[in-house]
Amino acid sequence: MSDELPKQYKKYVPQPDGLNLELHTRAVASGLLHIQRCVDCGQSRQPPRYYCQDCFSDNYDFVPVSGVGSIYSFAINHFTIDRAWIEELPYITAVVELAEGPRVVGALRNVEPGGVALGDAVTVSVEPRGENFAFIWVDLNSK
Ligand SMILES: [Zn+2]
């Protein structure tokens, strides 16, 4: 048996580009979750796209949203290819339907498998990592 401490792995920070880069830099700058919105018809959409699915406009903006929503779907992850996340296993990835309508994907915090159900009220927040990326976290609201 070795007396060496286990190697510490650094969590990979993705480098988004295009519209995802715009989305993340807004979140990093403000500390708030943002969603793309069509300037011409007001429709919100996620993930961001160059054209509105309702009116085909290419005028868009990114607006801050409350982060309030509910669990639309989730998956319990028992395996990761990124060694930095091994200590977090099992972790839960959730699809949250925001009060504003669009759905976002994030990671549930402080919840054991079995501690979450479809429809549970949650709050989504962002945690900047560097200048171009923010983790998207999901926290259960107290029941
Ligand atoms: Zn539109």
pLDDT digits (tens, 9 = 90+) for 17-72: 999 999 999 999 999 999 999 999 999 999 999 999 999 999 999 999 999 999 99
pLDDT computed for residue 9 by the predictor: 82
The Cα–Cα gap between 67 and 61 comes to 17
Maximal CA-CA distance, the chain = 65
Q: 61 C-alpha vs ligand 1 centroid, how far in Å?
A: 11
The Cα–Cα gap between 133 and 74 comes to 22
Q: 39 C-alpha vs ligand 1 centroid, how far in Å?
A: 7
Residue 2 pLDDT exceeds 80: no
The Cα–Cα gap between 121 and 93 comes to 15
Q: 60 C-alpha vs ligand 1 centroid, how far in Å?
A: 8
Please name the fold of domain 18-140: OB fold (Dihydrolipoamide Acetyltransferase, E2P) (2.40.50)
Q: 58 C-alpha vs ligand 1 centroid, how far in Å?
A: 8
Rg (CA), the chain: 17
pLDDT computed for residue 11 by the predictor: 84
Between the two ends of the chain, the Cα-to-Cα distance in Å is 46
Domain boundaries, the chain: 18-140
- CA distances 44 to 21, 76, 133, Å, are 17, 28, 21
Q: 68 C-alpha vs ligand 1 centroid, how far in Å?
A: 23
How would residue 131 be classed by pLDDT, with cut points 50, 70 and 90?
very high
Beta carbons within 10 angstroms of residue 66's beta carbon: 12
- CA distances 119 to 22, 82, 91, 96, 97, Å, are 30, 29, 18, 9, 9
Give the residue carrying structure tokens 């339907």.
97
Residue 1 pLDDT exceeds 60: no
What does the pLDDT look like over 82-113, one tens digit per residue? Answer: 888 888 899 999 999 999 999 999 999 999 98
Q: 62 C-alpha vs ligand 1 centroid, how far in Å?
A: 13
Residue 5 pLDDT exceeds 90: no
